[in-house]
Amino acid sequence: MSAGWTIPRNVANLAAARAEFNLAVPFEELPGLPAEWASASGTVHATLRFAREQGLPVVDVAIQGSVPMTCQRCLEPMTQELASSSRVAVVATSAQADAVPAEWETVLSSAGEVTLAGLIAEEVLLSLPVVPRHLVARDCGSLATELLEPAAEAAAAAEVSETQRPFADLRALLGKAPPR
Domain assignment of residue 160, yes or no? no
Domain assignment of residue 141, yes or no? no
Give the C-alpha separation, 9 to 24, whole Å.
18
pLDDT tens string for the chain (180 positions)? 457 888 999 999 999 999 999 999 988 888 888 777 666 668 899 999 999 999 999 999 999 998 888 898 888 888 889 999 999 999 999 999 999 999 999 999 988 899 999 999 999 999 989 999 888 877 787 765 666 665 555 555 556 566 667 777 777 777 766 666
Domain assignment of residue 21, yes or no? yes
Domain assignment of residue 151, yes or no? no
Domain assignment of residue 143, yes or no? no
Give me the pLDDT at residue 3, please. Answer: 72
Domain assignment of residue 64, yes or no? yes
Give me the pLDDT at residue 1, please. Answer: 46
**Phi, psi angle pair for 16, to nearest 5°:** -65, -35
HSE at residue 158, side-chain half, CA atoms within 13 A, is 6
Domain assignment of residue 25, yes or no? yes
Give me the pLDDT at residue 158, please. Answer: 59
Domain assignment of residue 168, yes or no? no
pTM summary value: 0.74
Instruction: Please give the helix or strand (H or E) that residue 153 lies within, else none.
Output: helix 142-160
Query: How many domains, the chain?
Result: 1
Closest CA to 40 of 1, 68, 71: 68
Provide the domain limits for residue 102.
9-135
Give me the pLDDT at residue 169, please. Answer: 75
Give the C-alpha separation, 172 to 178, whole Å.
9
Q: List 81's β-bridge partners, or say none.
A: 66
Closest CA to 62 of 99, 25, 100, 96: 25
Give the C-alpha separation, 7 to 72, whole Å.
36
Residue 78 CB partners (closer than 8 Å, separation 6+)? 68, 69, 70, 71, 132, 133, 134
CA 175-179-180 angle, to 5 degrees, is 140
Give me the pLDDT at residue 150, please. Answer: 59
